[in-house]
A and B are shown apart, each in its own frame.
Chain A
Amino acid sequence: MRQESVDSLLRIHRVSIGFQGVWALDRVSLDIRKGEVHALVGENGAGKSTLLNILTGVHRPDQGRVYLENHPYNLASPGDALKRGVYTVFQEPNFIPGMTIAENLTLFSPPTRLGLINWRRARRQARAILQKVGLELDLSRQLNTLSVAEQQLLAVARAISHNAKLLILDEATTNLECHEVERLFRLISSLVRQGMSVLFVTHHLDQVFDYASRISVLRNGRCVGTFASADISGQELVQKMTGGIGCQRELHPSGSSFRPNFSSNLCSNANANANANANANQVKKPFMVIDGLGKSNYLKPVSLNLYQGEVLGMTGSLGAGQTELCRLLYGACKADFGKVRMGNQTGRISSPRTAIRHGMAFCPENRNVSGIIAELSVRENLILALQAKRGWWLPITRRRQVSLVNRLVDELQIKMPGPDCPVHQLSGGNQQKVLLARWLITMPKLFILDEPTRGIDIVTRAQIIKILKELQVRGTSIVMASSDLNELVTISDRILILKNREKVLELPIEEFDPKALSEMLGQASVQTQIAAKC
């Protein structure tokens, strides 16, 4: 124990922090040694970014301690982290977009003479920094004209120039090509040899095995453990991250009194039709045909058939194109090419309003930014889509609103103080349920969901999955993107795998082997990246 604390650089000791009723981090302990590359992996919502926010000084832990070189590491603001030698390179690098390279590199500690910035020296220093990382860039270029890869290297360069003790790479390699990643790590390994430590957070497990010496796994806010990368295989790691198949039992809490009941005055003939068709699913007449839908620089053309009462699961590593496909389907982003056929109509969905008119619904990936309307009440959030569909001149009466809200709150077991309470006061899971409810009352024929269970606790996840199953039985076609394989396996009829913004595989659930996919996601991305580029 004594030995370990001597060569440890940063020690995180039983740190907990909670937001909106959920522990984002629950007694997490971690130890980063001097001169090691330490990887931190976990699914979305596992608590990685929260942990990083603590290390960078954005959040303060509710409980627990952090030590840097055996001194308490208490930060009042992000500036303190930098002063203590902890630098972070984010997925979107931390630069002021409108300023030049020289200005950005000088910003933190400009060399001054008589109180004025000595630009000549600043430029010389900046050039030296650039040389260190082997970048040849015009110093007077504005930051937003650089590629992300260049910005990332620049961010590392900036950290180096300030003699960082700990360099945190927060998904910093996500937007890089493989040779750029190599270049970055060649640079980093030389620094690690000089005693710098690196905390490497990524979704690319192959990079984890290539570069990290130890790996810590977070799941649902808890630290599953720290492993030497030589002692663990990619499959094992994926299992540790997702909780393995053993998680499935948790998805169906036995004592759940959850019983959705959508039959009401709202679902009239549309629902009856849907029911009939759901039973006749074997006929397999697609109700929507997607023909080469795509957008340049966004998503390579995808062709798909959607069937009534069927769940299409979509997965792939982060940024593989799931979100893009969802958005193109819904018209949130206009497609450049391809066609969509629905019934007798052929064309493109040009806007969300057209999509809704065709009976679509969309639960976006980023709940807070594009889903809920935080300031409005639960009631208003809930009726918004239905009201928008009806138009402003046909208001839903207050009584009807209240009865709708009460019914859905009952059915979806939304926990809230009252229908007129602002929705941002609800926990994340309940907010997501409100979003689902918003679309359920519009009786969608096609429900597109992008990561509907991200960052949500297990019980609510199970409830959401159950709600979707009920919907499916009633004949709604569901397209769901998720990075949680267990979830997809429990609900999907078909699985679509995307990689590098391209559809690579589509297969019925019976033929789908989660292990095979784990392997694929665990090892293949470098090869495909090379293949894609060459």
Chain B
Amino acid sequence: MKTTWLIAFWLLLVSVSTLLEPDFLTIRIVNGRFFGSLIDILHHSAPAILVSLSMALVIGTGNIDLSVGAIIAIAGSVTAVLAAYSQLSPYLILACSLGVGLICGLWNALLVAVLGLPSFVATLILMVSGRGIAQIITDGQVVTFDSDFINGLGNGHLWGIPSRVLIMGAFVLFMVVFIRKTALGLFIEAIGANTRASYLAGVNTLGIVVFVYLFSGVSAALSGVLLAADIQGADAANMGLWIELDAILAVVMAGASLFGGRMSLLGAVMGVLIIQTLTSMLLISGFPAQYSLVIKALVVITLIIAQSESVGQKLSRLLPRQLSRRWCPQKPREEL
């Protein structure tokens, strides 16, 4: 339901953009490649979508992962340093970077699931130190490299479609199938909604929480590789900066509660797309670039308020009784 509203809102943004710029929907083929605003939007939002999807899982269990930006920086730096200074095969570099993400996820999982620290502070540790670690890896420099394979990941094309979009699409498809076609989605939502009851019903609560953090680590690392590949280098201080906050907002926009429970994977994707579309809409409408942040913040808070049940209840109390009856469940009559 909520996802439907987000899609409707996104379509609204797209139509407004089309009104402003009739070329918005056109996709041209130049040199066998697709070009167009929509492709651009997908291309730009790919790293955030990767991160938001796994963030949706983490938030689904009622936890949070603040460290994804830092993991992006670490994985990007590892990619860049290995590609620049070592003779390793690009596949091995990719594997190493993803492995580093796995280790980061394991670290978070250790703190949250095993030691039982609150996830906010537990992942804050890696968030704070991660960029430091990345700076140590790159020795504080912006490391650039030249590798055809990795470059292809960031800027290449396959069947005319940017490889980044393809990777993102494959990832989304994999995620949705993996989570929704197995029982993982059910377990994640059950844990988020009531950990104790899920534990008593036999759900492996520890294992699932470890899993979502591992997953979050790997997908952040993948995102880091893509970002490093894009600029063929790594800037430890700025790579993926604040991406975790964007991702959290996208997930919350999709109607998820930070206390866990219901999650919407497609909603998280739509959340990122909405923000990205809004950005390009503001660009083509000729708004000075500095307006975009304010407008984005206002749109996001409006969507969040509209999604919030408590606000709905508060408002319905202000409405006349006939109207409010629709939202306030009636007190049922005596059963006997």
- Report if A457-B184 is in contact (Cβ < 8 Å); known contacts: A364-B200, A384-B201, A388-B201: no
> How distant is A45 from chain B, measured CB to nearest CB, in Å?
14
Closest to A327 in B: B200
B38-67 residues at the A interface, CB under 8 angstroms: none
B116 at the A/B interface (Cβ < 8 Å)? no
A18 at the A/B interface (Cβ < 8 Å)? yes
Q: Contact between A388 and B336 (Cβ–Cβ < 8 Å)?
A: no
Q: Contact between B197 and A373 (Cβ–Cβ < 8 Å)?
A: yes
The one of A23, A370, A375, A389 in contact with B193, judged by C-beta atoms closer than 8 angstroms, is: A375
B286-336 residues at the A interface, CB under 8 angstroms: 329, 331-336
Closest 7 CB pairs of A and B: A21-B332, A388-B202, A356-B202, A375-B193, A392-B183, A373-B194, A375-B261
B186 at the A/B interface (Cβ < 8 Å)? yes
Q: Contact between B193 and A374 (Cβ–Cβ < 8 Å)?
A: yes
The one of B186, B194, B196, B334 in contact with A387, judged by C-beta atoms closer than 8 angstroms, is: B186
Residues of A within 8 A of B197 (CB): 364, 369-373
Closest to B193 in A: A375
- Report if A425-B186 is in contact (Cβ < 8 Å); known contacts: A370-B196, A373-B194: no
> How distant is B313 from chain A, measured CB to nearest CB, in Å?
15
> How distant is B182 from chain A, measured CB to nearest CB, in Å?
5
A510 at the A/B interface (Cβ < 8 Å)? no
0/1 string, B177-196, CB within 8 A of A gives 1: 00001111011011001101
Most buried by A among B190, B198, B201, B202: B201
A62 at the A/B interface (Cβ < 8 Å)? yes
The one of B182, B187, B201 in contact with A438, judged by C-beta atoms closer than 8 angstroms, is: B201
Q: Contact between A353 and B190 (Cβ–Cβ < 8 Å)?
A: no
Residues of A within 8 A of B184 (CB): 392
Secondary structure at chain B's binding surface: helix, strand, loop or mixed? loop
Q: Contact between B332 and A458 (Cβ–Cβ < 8 Å)?
A: no
The one of A353, A364, A395, A429 in contact with B181, judged by C-beta atoms closer than 8 angstroms, is: A395
- Report if A373-B331 is in contact (Cβ < 8 Å); known contacts: A362-B200, A364-B200, A395-B182: no
Q: Contact between B190 and A352 (Cβ–Cβ < 8 Å)?
A: no
Distance between Cα atoms of A23 and B334 in the complex (Å): 6
Residues of B within 8 A of A355 (CB): 202
B199 at the A/B interface (Cβ < 8 Å)? yes
B203 at the A/B interface (Cβ < 8 Å)? yes
Closest to A401 in B: B186
Q: Contact between A376 and B189 (Cβ–Cβ < 8 Å)?
A: yes
Closest to A220 in B: B336
Q: Contact between B203 and A388 (Cβ–Cβ < 8 Å)?
A: yes
0/1 string, A334-368, CB within 8 A of B gives 1: 00000000000000000011011000001010000
The one of A21, A352, A370, A429 in contact with B333, judged by C-beta atoms closer than 8 angstroms, is: A21
Residues of B within 8 A of A383 (CB): 186
Residues of B within 8 A of A457 (CB): 335-336
Distance between Cα atoms of A93 and B190 in the complex (Å): 32
The one of A20, A330, A380, A429 in contact with B190, judged by C-beta atoms closer than 8 angstroms, is: A380
Q: Contact between B190 and A376 (Cβ–Cβ < 8 Å)?
A: yes
B204 at the A/B interface (Cβ < 8 Å)? yes
Residues of A within 8 A of B329 (CB): 425
> How distant is A42 from chain B, measured CB to nearest CB, in Å?
18
0/1 string, A437-453, CB within 8 A of B gives 1: 01000000000000000
Distance between Cα atoms of A206 and B187 in the complex (Å): 47
B131 at the A/B interface (Cβ < 8 Å)? no
Residues of B within 8 A of A427 (CB): 332, 335
* Interface contact tally, CB-CB below 8 A: 100
Residues of A within 8 A of B (CB): 18-23, 26, 62, 330, 332, 352-353, 355-356, 362, 364, 369-376, 380, 383-385, 387-396, 425, 427, 429, 438, 457-459
Distance between Cα atoms of A87 and B27 in the complex (Å): 72
Residues of B within 8 A of A22 (CB): 334-335
B164 at the A/B interface (Cβ < 8 Å)? no
**A-B residue pairs in contact (CB < 8 Å), sample of 30:** A21-B335, A26-B334, A62-B331, A330-B200, A332-B199, A352-B199, A353-B202, A353-B204, A364-B197, A369-B194, A369-B196, A370-B196, A370-B200, A371-B197, A375-B194, A380-B186, A384-B201, A387-B186, A387-B187, A388-B198, A392-B182, A392-B183, A392-B187, A393-B182, A393-B183, A395-B183, A396-B183, A427-B335, A457-B335, A458-B336
Q: Contact between A389 and B202 (Cβ–Cβ < 8 Å)?
A: yes
0/1 string, B132-175, CB within 8 A of A gives 1: 00000000000000000000000000000000000000000000
Distance between Cα atoms of A459 and B334 in the complex (Å): 13
> How distant is B202 from chain A, measured CB to nearest CB, in Å?
4
Residues of B within 8 A of A370 (CB): 194, 196-197, 200
Residues of B within 8 A of A394 (CB): 183
> How distant is A324 from chain B, measured CB to nearest CB, in Å?
15
- Report if A352-B202 is in contact (Cβ < 8 Å); known contacts: A62-B331, A457-B335: yes
Residues of A within 8 A of B186 (CB): 376, 380, 383-384, 387
Q: Contact between B334 and A18 (Cβ–Cβ < 8 Å)?
A: yes
Most buried by B among A22, A330, A384, A391: A384
Q: Contact between A18 and B202 (Cβ–Cβ < 8 Å)?
A: no
Most buried by B among A22, A395, A427, A458: A395
Other than A384-B186, A389-B202, give 18 A-B pairs with Cβ distance below 8 A: A19-B331, A330-B200, A332-B200, A353-B202, A353-B204, A370-B196, A370-B197, A371-B197, A373-B198, A376-B186, A376-B190, A384-B203, A388-B202, A392-B184, A395-B182, A457-B336, A458-B336, A459-B335
Distance between Cα atoms of A20 and B184 in the complex (Å): 31
> How distant is A16 from chain B, measured CB to nearest CB, in Å?
9
Residues of B within 8 A of A373 (CB): 190, 193-194, 197-198
> How distant is B25 from chain A, measured CB to nearest CB, in Å?
36
> How distant is A376 from chain B, measured CB to nearest CB, in Å?
6
Most buried by A among B183, B204, B331, B333: B183
